[in-house]
Structure 1
Amino acid sequence: MSVSEQKVELRKILRAKRKNIEFKLEKDRAIAKAFTELPAYQNAEQIFLYMSKQEEVDTEWIWNCAMKDGKEVLSPYCPPNSAEMQFYLVTDKSKLVKSEFGVLEPNPAQAEQKPVKETSICIVPGLSFTEEGFRLGYGKGYYDRFLALHKIFSIGFCYDELLSDSLPVNTFDQRVNMVLTDKKVMTVKGL
């Protein structure tokens, strides 16, 4: 079985497992609290933050906290028929629009792009992560391409019970610098 086929099968298993996460609200809040207590967050000028769907680690509290703390919050926009992901400043969530994937994203006609700053942090969604910073995403490769182009400190959000000892990996898969769960903070060595 190829790496791509292994990933497809694993995504099915992990999506089903994630749908049955118990105490999701408490776990989401624990992840958000741990994130906002990190020195990396406190020193960051910009937070590259995905707008979570219902089953993902919720980012609403983080968005609110970052806005209150005077940070720039940028969210991804994936142009139709493109493999590229762009980030736009989000100051008003009511201006977000639903994408073809059902994700809220900025409208590029009404939002501003900003260059990545040295103190920026990118929050990376995923179904599962390893302690080595590898992730199983949703299969489109958007974050892998973005992280390959931008040297930005990246943190993967994951429920502790969805951590994996190992994951199938392709040569283009990018590792995150840190993995944050509802129970631990793991800094990835060698990055």
Structure 2
Amino acid sequence: MGSSNWPDGYTIFDSTGITRVETDKDGTKKEYKITEDEWRKAHPEHRNSGCQDCKFVQDRETPFIYFIPREAKEKAGSNPEFVGNFTMPGWTGHAGFYIFKCQECGTVCADYPHGYDAYGCLYLKCTDQNCFASLILEPSEVRHIYERENVVAPPDREDLESELREVIDQVERRGIRVIMPGANASKKGLLRRIFNLKS
């Protein structure tokens, strides 16, 4: 989304304030406190950048109300369609907004990709305040969204589940019963390490 004026590293926001963490060439991590003003100076709001690729909006409902034509709203289906790039207060970049019809409640919504679900996928949220559904953006179906948003797509969910079943089968062939509700890729790696299985 946005660019930083700082070297590689990351920033931690917590109850103690803002901490900048950077790694030297020799691999040593340095942590130091920064002020909110220093953060804002290094990460200016995108709305003041002069970007010609997006529009500034106050909230995520504004694009739906003012920028999406009625025809697009009437044609909206379960497959998300790109409607434009927008930026909001506090954002250091912009994001694509997509129109879709919620499969749970039928509301036509416009939202930007959020991340990430348990499988590393982006998702869109239903904008109906009584519906908490999300539309998972499966890479096998909407890889173009990952490409448009410059986000690396995770492996397909079916591939991950297939690999996990294979790992569990290997463990169970050793006579160990595996019960893993909500198993995911990190548990797969854990099983491989615990039982010294080949990848």
TM category, shorter: under 0.3
Structure exhibiting the larger radius of gyration computed from Cα positions: 2
Q: TM-score, normalised by structure 1?
A: 0.27
TM-score, structure 2 length as denominator? 0.26
* Higher relative contact order, chain-length normalized (CA < 8 Å, sep 6+): 1
The structure that is strand-richer by fraction is 2
